[in-house]
Amino acid sequence: MAPLLGYNTNPMKIVVDGATHLLKQLPVHVGVIMDGNGRWAKKRGLPRTAGHRAGMKSVKTIVNASGTIGIKYLTLYAFSVENWLRPKPEVSILMHLLRDYLMSEIDELDAKRVKIITSGRTNDLEARARTILLDSIERTKHNKGLVLNLALSYGGKAEIVDAVKRLSRDLLAHALKPERIDEEVLRRCLYHPEVPDADLIIRTSGENRLSNFLLWQAAYAEFYTTDVLWPDFGEQDLHRALLDYQNRDRRFGKVKP
């Protein structure tokens, strides 16, 4: 039977820059802002689309590495609501790559018990990409390994707006009283309330912005940035981020006793 991804209960040894480390504290939910595809291509005199294609390889590597190491939830910021404003051919290539990724990887992802979910305004996606995405979600819905959350046509503000719309329907139907609304009630209206808040958010390419990613779920996330461009981001880079994370002192606004 294929190994179960996302179920590593033993602390894992990793080698970073020649030194062996024990990973004792793993983030449960890792979010990644995969930035720098365009710059990667420009440096090589290639079209931006070549950068996205190369970025897809990093997606494969990082999904696999995350599952192997025992991360439970991985959210990849693959296409934002703002990305619709990019030139049409670029949007088209990104939709094509999404289809390509799911079609070529679905057998392996399923065999490795990866469960695919998506966050975002799925209805806005190009029809063929949407169909393949929904088929992949359906096929893997009972898998118990790594949960791969593809953020597509996603915006953190849009997610909160969509949650408020859902909440308003309950209010109008008198199924909810305004005074009962608290953080937990609103949280349950997010795209995937079963996914815990992000513990670690990684952003590649040297930028230090959240760019409308997981605004609600990032409330107490640790932020890790690296100058590495997304198409160059590999397993070692992920391990470096995890190593950095385990040395963070997470207080969630409290003081240590």
What is the contact surface with ligand FPP in residues (CB under 6 A)?
A: 34-39, 52, 55-56, 59, 76, 78, 83, 94, 97-98, 101, 150, 205, 230
Residue showing the smallest CB distance to ligand FPP in the complex:
38
Stretch (H or E) spanning 202: strand 200-203
Least CB distance to ligand FPP at residue 127 (A): 17
Q: Is 83 a catalytic residue?
A: yes
Of 163 and 198, nearer to ligand FPP (C-beta) is: 198
Of 76 and 189, nearer to ligand FPP (C-beta) is: 76
Phi, psi (5° rounding) for residue 178?
A: -50, -40
Of 3 and 206, nearer to ligand FPP (C-beta) is: 206
Q: Is 35 a catalytic residue?
A: yes
The residue annotated as part of the active site, out of 8, 10, 17, 35, is 35
Least CB distance to ligand FPP at residue 150 (A): 6
**Residue 62 near residue 238 (C-beta atoms within 8 A):** yes
Helix (H, G, I), strand (E, B) or coil at 98: helix
Exposure string of 108-130, with b = 16+ CB inside 10 Å and e = fewer, is ebbebbbbbbbbbbbeebbeebb
The residue annotated as part of the active site, out of 8, 83, 100, 244, is 83
Distance separating alpha carbons of residues 24 and 160, to the nearest angstrom:
34
Of 16 and 91, nearer to ligand FPP (C-beta) is: 91
Q: Provide the residue type at 82 as one letter.
A: E
Least CB distance to ligand FPP at residue 93 (A): 9
Residue 184 exposed, middle or buried by CB count within 10 Å (0-12, 13-18, 19+): exposed
What sign does the CA torsion over 44, 64, 187, 163 have? positive
Catalytic residues: 35, 83
